[in-house]
Structure 1
Amino acid sequence: MRLFPLTLALAASLLLLSLASLLHGSGIDASRLLSGQALPELEWQLLWQLRLPRLLASASAGALLASAGAAVQARFRNPLAEPGLIGINSGAALAAAAALSLGAGLYAVSASAFAGGLSSLLLIRLLGQTQQGGSRLILSGLAISSLLGSLLTLLITTLPDGSLRVVIFWLMGSFASVDWPQAALLCVAAPLIWLALHRQWRFLNALQLGETAAFHLGFEVRRREWQVVILAALAAGLVVSACGMIGFIGLMGPHLARQLVGGNARRLLWIAPMLGALLAIASDWLARSLLAPSELPVGVITSLIGAPFFLWLLRQGNGKEWHA
């Protein structure tokens, strides 16, 4: 599919979905706003202080996760590699939960999540490099994710009641408690990390031929690999620190983009973040709407959609590795 018309279509879809999510629900008279009338003070505060930062955070988080997923998949040459499935999210969650339990602030939690996600990814890379193949990477990631999940459970059982409630609610994944500083951090990080990853598209394309081929094509493989890995861990860590565990968007966004524009990293890294943002906004809207006035965690919605999607990929044979 041609890139320009697809970009316009996705941008229009993002705008319409954002408006629908922003205005739908109790507390805001959408007809008054759309007709150009001024909103009452209470409705305006609801829109400005709660709905808008939540919308911006969900769009930015979806774009970050999809960008990280596309980069990780290209780096490890496996379309099932994803920040949640290969353990990045679990490492980030454990470190961020530890920081939250100590009462750390926003930037300390974000730094802890980044360090935890990067450490987890490096450990998985170390375990997976003894044998070529993305299947070993996935298995190593699942094992590390299980171990880190157990450590996280152990941490939770030792927390006092006040910290326990904060950490458990955060772990379920939600945009409900995102405030303007967190939304601003994600909004600034999303385009910067996307741009840094997009600049690696030639290297990521060369990697599909294998590391040796990429080296002979003139790329500094180890240095470039570190850059991609650190950016992916930073993207996942920022999302986890602000919104908790939101899985499968980093799997679904890049795969859907691959169906639309093919495997060229330049086109893939352009379209995947837009699809990730769409998925995140739609999931958040469903989380608010399905059981209104109660609210579901966004992580539950993405898992309910993403887990069957993952199984469908396996059944279709899309979990096979990309060989040179």
Structure 2
Amino acid sequence: MTKTKKVISLLLTLLFSLFLISCGKSSQVDNVNNTNSTTAATTETKIETQKTLEDLKIHYIDVGQGDSELIQIGDKNILIDAGTSDKKALDYLKSIGITTIDYAIATHPHEDHIGSMDDVINNLKVGTFYAPKATTTTKTFENMVDALKNKNLKMNVPKVGDQITVGDATLTFLAPNSAKYEDLNNYSIVCKLKYGNNSFIFMGDAEDVSEGEILKKQLDIQADVLKVGHHGSHSSTTQAFLDKVNPKYAVISCEKGNDYGHPHEETLDKLNAKNINVFRTDLEGTVIATSDGTNITFNVKPVDKANDIAPKKTNKKDN
């Protein structure tokens, strides 16, 4: 009888040990499954983040002696200015397959900024249109207004601090900050685009007066890329403003051998003294900046500082 009890006891001990081993293996499998599940979720999140921040492009379009920038965020398009009346801006937009402009901004009513805006409005689908509260009696301005009327588009006047949000990008209006100016250039709409950790400022033709107002209001103007005001004229890009923006890159839009001598030597000296990488449409054609929210790359190399010289200036008025 005692012998039988010992056998039974031994069998029970063995069964209990097997049970413990089995539980341990089951727990390990669960832990592995949980770990794999967590890793998969983390990887999926990273991929999703990359998908969100991979498709911002800014085209600083070569329109000769003028300004035009196209911002592409996913399938949305923002156009800032449209160059002169020679339709170069429209031709470029068509060449890259643009059929819709979701937001159009006319910085101020000078021909070298709104010359082809009527062509853009007449030939493409335009969503919301922005312009400052400034008018002129020129045929160019009249053509733009007529085109807006024909498409039943309203001219919206943005206030400082107003924002446009497109996907993960936010465009904030920074100027004009006054109701009246002596110089039409200072009516220019100035805006800052923020995308992830990258930011870009677009100055139109805003001059030292407007820059001073922006500084006085202590608006957030730090940016990686500065679209230099007024084609690099000495009337813009004051040292205090440039120091505050503190960009890594600067883009100047102007025509090769233009009559105004843009960009002026004083401006180039300021940019070069701060070791800012300069891109120029007169020397390199259309400049395209691509951002993933962290890094910015360009389709062309910066201008060699040794050759970054100003064109010869004539007596033509710096408009």
More strand by share: 2
Determine which structure has greater relative contact order: mean sequence separation of CA pairs < 8 Å that are 6+ residues apart, divided by chain length. Answer: 1
Q: Name which one, 1 or 2, has greater alpha-carbon Rg.
A: 2
TM-score normalised by the chain length of structure 2: 0.24
